[in-house]
Structure 1
Amino acid sequence: MRHVIALDVGGTGMKAALIDGGGVLLHQGRRATGRERGPDAVIRSIVEYAVELRAYGAEHFGEPAAALGVAVPGIVDETDGIAAYSANLGWRDVPLRDLLAERLGVPVALGHDVRTGGLAEGRIGAGRGADRFLFVPLGTGIAGAIGIDGRVEAGAHGFAGEIGHIVVRPGGAPCPCGQIGCLERYASAAAVSEAWAAASGDPEADAADCAKAVMSGDPNAVRVWQEAVDALADGLVTALTLLDPRTLIIGGGLAEAGDTLFAPLRDAVRRRVTFQKLPTIVPAALGDTAGCLGAGLLARDLLEPTDVLEPTDPSEVTA
């Protein structure tokens, strides 16, 4: 059975899948990244896991995978297949595509984790059918993926979509990137967690706790949450002014708050637009599988460019 390998490498774990030509998930797996052992060990783990997945496919489906797609964090040179830098994983200038292609003997595509997740959301998730979309996951930081006609724009130097580093509060909090007042210092899940821990006096409190307190009417929580929503709306309006997306897809940990986030966010964006066309603002649909599914799409595109990979009912997945 012709299939591809999809591999999503995160700071702590790797998610993998084998996907057939019709988009059916044949196999899924997870494994620790092992970053505590250093960057060289992480690279070995990625290569070894890919080799194991290839062997699994050959044994269970009659032939080895025809291609591999890999999504990794940090700075990624997708054209040359180089994982240029990752603070979480500690590597620099790793020719990951060539390393994997040499070991597996198949075509390999390397992608940035957020852009790869955005590709999946755009083609088969919340942005399906939209010719232009912006995917913004709100996690430890904030990044973005710019979708145009079924593809995701990397930019000339691989930095396209870094919405988290739009300055929304000049003179505000310093950002590790070197700027002052960046969006992710105010509206990421990490930023909300930090603000709510300080406001509540509970150092263990996080963004999910803040959302629960908002729903119960806690005025301090409402204040913290609204400050984050306002900062996010400021950043999003800047982005939509430049990019004019038809659909704005919000994902990541904060999006799990549902209407507690989306109701005030839609209102805040609506109040800020003037001449701009208001996009549809929707929650991401694929959750933490987006990166892996997107990696599968990258692999499929190596074999025959397509804009369609049908989603599969999770009950159809085999272990």
Structure 2
Amino acid sequence: MPQPPWHPESLAARLPFLRRRARLAAETRAWFAAEGYAEVETPALVPVPGMEVHLRAFRTAYRPHLGAGSEATLWLRTSPELALKRLLVAGAGRVFELAKVWRNGELSPRHAPEFTMLEWYAPGLTLDGLMEETERFCRSVLPARVAHGGEETDLSLPFERLTMAEAFRTHCNGLDILATVEGEEGDAAALHAAAAAAGLDLPPGLSWEDAFFHLVLTHVEPKIGRGRATFLTHWPAPQAALARRDPADPRAALRFELFMAGLELANAFDELTNADEQRARFARDVEARRAEAGEEGWEVDEDFLAALEHGMPAGSGIALGFDRLAMLASGAQDIAQVLWLPGAGRQPAR
């Protein structure tokens, strides 16, 4: 029977990974300080935990004590993103945070419901500049070669920059994914027809989003971020989230994800600063969340939109899974190995 994580033998088995994690945290703070970033701390208990449709949050409540304040529903944040962008509006400049975050229902060797996110935001930085900066950071804190689950990445090689359109053409038999996009909407019928023409099997009846991710997970992700790290860039506009659309082709958004040793490591945006466009996206997100039966949700983050209306500087930002970074740095194969006390019933791998 597996030992509980508090057992001395269990901790002893994790200590090499945990000590490497501790060094990684110190190296990360030193790197960002040298780059002119200020480390900040933002609230973990918030009225709106994040706006991504498919993330589930942990709900709690504020109850007044001795007459202070009034009752309110609060949530544990799924990301510090909305708070950090408020600081950009306030004029804080370059900021980063090693933030505890919570996502309900996420539990696997690569997921934990409570984990650490490294996020940083830089006014005036383009998405290309952020890719260059991310590449330098990873080389600074990781060994020259990293491995996970039998996949190995050589970080001495230049990181690949692959647009989503290029990825589909290469790995999905020439399928033109942007031809299935109109504005910020995806055409499910067009994507099913394009997949059939390319000889790719799709389960019938999938929405555009579900069909898109089925193809990405089945045909694209298994082919990238292996021998060398890959930035998968210029996502279709229906997946823009909080990213600005590409002025050269509005069917795509200025967004990238980073893949390394078969792990999805980070998600980044050239930040959308238009409050009206962001409000429309948030409204669609709220309705989509309500449409998922049985899921409780939250309203649009009006305070964040007010901050955007006040004026957020153009720039880019990124969310990087720090626990996964620690796994790559230490050679751990299970996220529980890099957590001092794994929670939610997880038993660390031996």
TM-score by length of 1: 0.27
Structure that is richer in helix per residue? 1
The TM-score normalised by the length of structure 2 is 0.25
